[in-house]
Structure 1
Amino acid sequence: MSDIRLNTLDLNAVELAGMIDHTKLGPDTTIKDIDVLCQQAAKYEFASVCVPPCYVTEAKLMLQEKSPAVCTVLGFPHGNSCTTAKAKEASLAVEKGATEVDMVMAVGLLKSGLYKDVEKDIEAIVRICEGTALVKVILECVLLTDEEKRTACRLASDAGADYVKTSTGFAGGRATEKDVALMYDTIGSRLGIKASGGIRTGAEALTMIRAGASRIGASASVAIIQGMNDD
């Protein structure tokens, strides 16, 4: 497996911003919050805004032709909705203009050893999004053993996903360098790795990138970039 991890020594604030999904997913998120999120994303040229499904249309309109992509979530935050429901969410998201989706893996099915069902769940979303939207699979690492993390990475790859992602940020725990490195060592030559959950400083983001992440999910994105500029 070739090592394609980035050397972060020369990574500047602009380059880091282009790797961040600027995120607002709380249950109390308002349309005003999404407006601010999109303005910030356009200003700092973040990779995307990650918004609740009900705000995809609004985010698309707010960003128009600006560079940040519109990302949303499926089966969020627990991943235990049925595949048909996730597929409908994916269809609506793509129809409304999302070009990236972060789906929560069926964690309970994985822990039950029902690996084919987990793979089929992911495959259903990949088919809907093929050629239109990137698919990132959230593993919820805090709930998994290391071997389950490796298995989940392989299933996501076999199902045709584009990324695996550490966590929702809603199940406790946070992204760790150890988990990112494990995911990268398992599947980094085939899939991107997204580190998400509790990343609040430039130093933390760079640590994740050195471990193998190629995308960062954060709600503190502006503070991360401003801190890089201050340094």
Structure 2
Amino acid sequence: MNPAQYIEQTNLKPTISDKEIEELIEQTLKYKFIGVCVPPFWVKKVKRDLLKTDTKVVTVIGFPLGYNRTETKVTEAEVALKDGADELDLVISTTGFKTNPFWAKVEIVRLAEIAHQAEKMLKVIIETAYLSQKEIKETALICQEAGADFVKTSTGFASAGFASNTTDFYAGAKLEEVQLIRNTVSEMVGIKASGGIKTYQQVQDFVKAGAERIGTSSGVEIMEEYFAMNK
């Protein structure tokens, strides 16, 4: 299994520089990742530099907390698509969901319509660290019903210690949560596992659990590990 077929090489650091963006582009060209995930500020440049490749340019909406007004996220999405984004990773409004799940559904519907009108894809980050297993299932179904193309586990920025349902401070992707989502939504809805995935073995495990995409900032290390194992 070539992990590049699953990896969205990611750099969403708030301090990311132009030099780091250039490095990200070079890495993507070298390893042929399926996607590269960058802040909205850099979408136009990255799209231009990867225009002749098959790599998808992915950006985030409402990142990293998700509690922006829906109208703000709509504008973010429209600008990102205009700049050349192929896929949008929307951070769900967790505060909206926990208050009334209908609000989260309405938001996803609006963003899905915008993405699909442009013939692009929408992934929804549900931030599993803040949800119980019951809420993960409910949110995943809302994503499916609202027209999301993918359910994504995490932003990578959350601290699970703030969640009332756990004392575990690891807030990244977990195999059991990916399996739970896979068993909840139809095969028409993809899963993107992200947060803390750093090895080739983890990529294999998450793909086996049901993930079709892997969001990671360790794509280079994973690819080098893969090549070393297949000499």
- TM-score by length of structure 1 reads 0.92
Q: Residue 148 in 1 paired to residue 135 in 2?
A: yes
Q: Residue 115 in 1 paired to residue 114 in 2?
A: no
4+ long deviations beyond 3 Å = none
Cα RMSD (Å): 0.9
State the alpha-carbon separation in 1 of the partners of residues 196 and 148 from structure 2. 24
Superposition map of 1:51-70 within 5 A: 51-70=38-57
Aligned to 2:183: 185
Superposition map of 1:67-216 within 5 A: 67-112=54-99, 114-130=100-116, 131-172=118-159, 173-216=171-214
State the alpha-carbon separation in 1 of the partners of residues 75 and 96 from structure 2. 20
- Note the C-alpha offset of 1:188: 4.3
- Note the C-alpha offset of 1:216: 0.3
State the alpha-carbon separation in 1 of the partners of residues 27 and 119 from structure 2. 25
- Note the C-alpha offset of 1:190: 2.7
Unaligned runs of 5+ in 1: 1-10
> Which deviations, in whole Å up to 9, do the C-alpha atoms of 1:165-194 show, x marking residues without a partner?
000000031111001000100014230000
Q: Which amino acid aligns with 1:224?
A: I
2:122 alignment partner, SS class: strand
> Which deviations, in whole Å up to 9, do the C-alpha atoms of 1:104-146 show, x marking residues without a partner?
001111122x111101111111111114321000010011000
Q: Is the 8 A contact 1:188 1:212 kept in 2?
A: no
Q: Which amino acid aligns with 2:102?
A: K
State the alpha-carbon separation in 2 of the partners of residues 167 and 82 from structure 1. 20
Aligned to 1:217: 215
Unaligned runs of 5+ in 2: 160-170
State the alpha-carbon separation in 2 of the partners of residues 179 and 108 from structure 1. 20
State the alpha-carbon separation in 2 of the partners of residues 37 and 67 from structure 1. 15
State the alpha-carbon separation in 2 of the partners of residues 68 and 33 from structure 1. 18
Q: Is the 8 A contact 1:94 1:132 kept in 2?
A: no
